[in-house]
Amino acid sequence: MPPSMAQNGFSRPCAQPWPGCIGLTAFVAQHLLAIPANISAFGYLHKKSNSQLRNRWQIRFIVVYCGCIYYFKTSSSAQPQGAFSLKGYNRIIRAEDETTPTAVFPFKILHISEKKRVWYFSTASDEERRRWMAAIRSEVKHHCILMDAYKVTRYQSFTC
């Protein structure tokens, strides 16, 4: 069972812009890293921007924590640049078609709904990509899987 927000030192669920994530507005990535038992993965990755005008890959400090992915400009940034809940994301797969000189080992995180954003990240090695993909899959299963056996059918992937 996931730890409660009170145990983690955070007092309220987050509102916009990051629905489903803990309300973290003014904290450094290091604050999250101080509670390592709850961190699934952290480190620098390339993240593909969502801009229609620019298809850029930017280096970001990523923290996978309590069913959400937070991304910072650096590990000492005063606050995250953004975050998203893994709720509803059910596939974490390689994205070989996104390979560029900057994004050498890309992978993507897909939502059960095709209308939701696809998130792209890239690592420095294939082994690192496997570790990140496994950590995110584990996070989805741990924090987002449907626990009600009556609602889960044999046709559903794990989702939240």
Q: What percent of the chain has pLDDT over 90?
A: 52
The β-bridge relationship of strands 57-65 and 119-123 is unpaired
| pLDDT of 33 | 66
Note the pLDDT of residue 9. Answer: 31
Q: Is the pLDDT score of 48 beyond 90?
A: yes
Is residue 39 scored above 70 in pLDDT?
yes
The region that residue 53 occupies, defined by phi over 0 for left and psi between -120 and 50 for alpha, beta otherwise, is alpha
Q: Which residue has the tokens 């939240």?
A: 160
Which residues are CB-neighbours of 96 under 8 A, at least 6 positions away?
106
Pick the closest to residue 75 from 31, 11, 139 (CA basis): 31
Instruction: Return d(Cα 101, Cα 16) in angstroms, integer.
Output: 34
Using one digit for the tens of pLDDT, what is the confidence trace for 90-126?
999 999 999 999 999 999 999 999 999 999 999 999 9
Residues 11-19 have a mean pLDDT of 40
Whether the upstream peptide bond of residue 17 has omega within 30° of 0, thus cis, is yes
Q: Which CATH architecture has domain 8-144?
A: Roll (2.30)
What is the CB neighbour count within 10 angstroms for residue 55?
12
13: DSSP letter = B
Domain spans of the chain? 8-144
